[in-house]
Amino acid sequence: MTMEGEIQGISKIIIARSDNLGDNILTLPLLFAARKAFPDSEIHHLTTGIPAALFSRLPFIDRLIVKNSSGQLKQLFAEGGYDLFIAAKPEFDEAYRAFVSRVGVRVGTAYRWYSFLFNRKVKQHRRECTYHESEYNLNLLRAIKPEVEYRRHFDFDLSDVNIEEVLLKLSIGNNPFIVLHPGSRGSAFDLPISNVISFLSQYLTTDDKLKVILTGTIEEKSTCQQIVNAVRQNTGIELNDTSGKLNIRELAALINSSEVFVSNSTGPIHIAGSLNKKVIGFYPDIVPMKPERWKPLSDSAVILTPGNGSSKMGLISPDEIIKSLKLLLKLN
């Protein structure tokens, strides 16, 4: 059968991105576009645990598979009956299993040493940050379907989360609030804690301030507590620290209920972007981390960088953040 014939006959698809939360959220446009391009096909997503939990109610993904072992991959591809494999982030073990299992159409980048395992190779150097990550992902599908539908926003169907109960549990109340996520688990260049403390200490003394909620993982608890203690000392105001208290769907519901989400370039900023929330993001101005590739997909996002090709995040001033925050809060 010709390649064109195999594309016409695609009935079962696996799209692989077995890495971090934010990377997977920026793969959602590809997954959605695949559903639109192959409406009668079954679509599986090979991923990791946290994205799988967040994506559990998305209607355009038929099955979420959490990658856990090479033995699992061998069985998955041997028994999967897949016609199309798309490597959104190439991994040798996944590409190899697709190859030896004779998946008919195998799409991936042209520039890995194992790219011979793909039979549709896409020439892209993501490190150059020429396009947004979601566009790089969509270009993989465009290799076999030139016209694709690009959707950026997804609500994750959070109806299973009782947000009123979450707010009550966290003693947040019904007043409007901002969510600040100060860490990144080492995935990005972070705004220095001293800048975070200065920003909050200045903002919380303004007349039109909103309540500020801190979020983070349990591993980031000490960082959040450092911020809480310093802000209390500077202003007498007690921040609400939720680090380690929320699962991923509760975090998404909290972000969805906020007025503005403020964060470094890390997974939760892409939750906010996908939910189309107002966002302030802190990004280095260097490849391969530039916001041109990694900014959130919100329609109302302010991205602050050190500028001039710098990664010195301390150059982002508290005044810039406050100005951006007040600008976003004025938007309808």
CA distance linking residue 4 with residue 11, whole number of Å: 14
Give me the chain's average pLDDT, please. 96
pTM: 0.96
Residue 2 has pLDDT above 70, yes or no: no
CA distance linking residue 191 with residue 263, whole number of Å: 9
Is residue 179 within 8 Å of residue 258, measured between CB atoms?
A: yes
Q: What is the pLDDT of residues 282-318, one digit of tens each?
A: 999 999 999 999 999 999 999 999 999 999 999 999 9
- The domain 3-142 is placed in CATH, from the list 1.10.20.60, 3.30.750.210, 3.30.360.10, 3.40.50.2000, at 3.40.50.2000
pLDDT at residue 174 in the model: 87
Looking at domain 160-330, does it have CATH number 3.40.50.1820? no
Residue 158 has pLDDT above 80, yes or no: yes
For the chain, give the secondary structure using H, E and C. Answer: CCHHHHHHCCCEEEEECCCCHHHHHCCHHHHHHHHHHCCCCEEEEEECHHHHHHCCCCCCCCEEEECCCHHHHHHHHHHHCCCEEEECCCCHHHHHHHHHCCCCEEEEECCCCCHHHCCEEECCCHHHCCCCHHHHHHHHHHCCCCCCCCCCCCCCCHHHCCHHHHHHHCCCCCCCEEEEECCCCCCCCCCCHHHHHHHHHHHCCCCCCCEEEECCCHHHHHHHHHHHHHHHHHHCCCCEECCCCCCHHHHHHHHHHCCEEEEECCHHHHHHHHCCCCEEEECCCCCCCCHHHHCCCCCCEEEECCCCCCCCHHHCCHHHHHHHHHHHHHCC
Q: What is the pLDDT of residues 241-253, one digit of tens each?
A: 999 999 999 999 9
Q: What is the pLDDT of residues 58-74, one digit of tens each?
A: 999 999 999 998 899 99
pLDDT tier for residue 81 given thresholds of 50, 70 and 90? very high
Which of residues 265 and 187 earns the better pLDDT score? Answer: 265
CATH 3.40.50.2000 maps onto the chain at 3-142, 160-330
pLDDT tier for residue 6 given thresholds of 50, 70 and 90? confident
Residue 3 has pLDDT above 80, yes or no: no
Q: From 190, 183, 180, 269, select the one nearest 231 (Cα to Cα).
A: 180
pLDDT at residue 201 in the model: 98
Interval 84-90 mean pLDDT: 97
